[in-house]
């Protein structure tokens, strides 16, 4: 595509996409189990390289999300983004190369 579109930089050739966790997978009978469903879907989207993510709240199968459920959905995104290290890994499903050192690897290197 870069050659056919005469693109001068690689940024124009990057695939950018939005992901939303599957609201259809949420169950009204056991809404707290939806927390796990949404967390797994969030991790899958992060591993897939999504640039934008909407996480459903665990109680959306019942009605509009409560403030508590919406906050938990936001925290799920934040944990996936900032605590898993997945966004910093070039190819998280195949390689162990990170684009920047994690805090734990720099601590272990100092203690060695």
Paired tokens of 66: 């409560």
* Strand runs labelled E in the chain: 18-20, 52-54
The CA distance from 38 to 33, in Å, is 9
pLDDT confidence of residue 102: 56
The CA distance from 59 to 27, in Å, is 8
Q: State the CB neighbour count (10 A cutoff) for residue 89.
A: 19
Domain boundaries, the chain: 10-111
Instruction: Give the containing element (helix H, strand E) for 112.
Output: none
For every one of its 112 residues, what pLDDT tens digit does the chain have, with 9 covering 90 and above? Answer: 455 555 567 777 777 888 999 989 999 999 999 999 999 999 999 988 888 999 999 999 999 999 999 999 999 999 999 998 888 887 777 766 656 655 655 554 554 4
pLDDT confidence of residue 112: 47
pLDDT confidence of residue 40: 94
């Amino acid at each position: 595509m870069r050659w056919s579109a005469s693109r001068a930089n690689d940024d124009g050739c990057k695939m950018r996409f939005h992901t939303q966790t599957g609201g259809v997978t949420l169950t009204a009978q056991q809404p707290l189990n939806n927390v796990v469903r949404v967390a797994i879907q969030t991790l899958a989207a992060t591993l897939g390289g999504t640039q934008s993510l909407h996480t459903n709240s665990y109680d959306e199968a019942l009605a509009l999300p409560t403030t508590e459920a919406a906050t938990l959905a936001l925290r799920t995104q934040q944990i996936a983004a900032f605590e898993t290290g997945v966004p910093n890994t070039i190819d998280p499903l195949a390689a162990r190369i990170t684009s920047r050192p994690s805090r734990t690897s720099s601590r272990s290197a100092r203690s060695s």
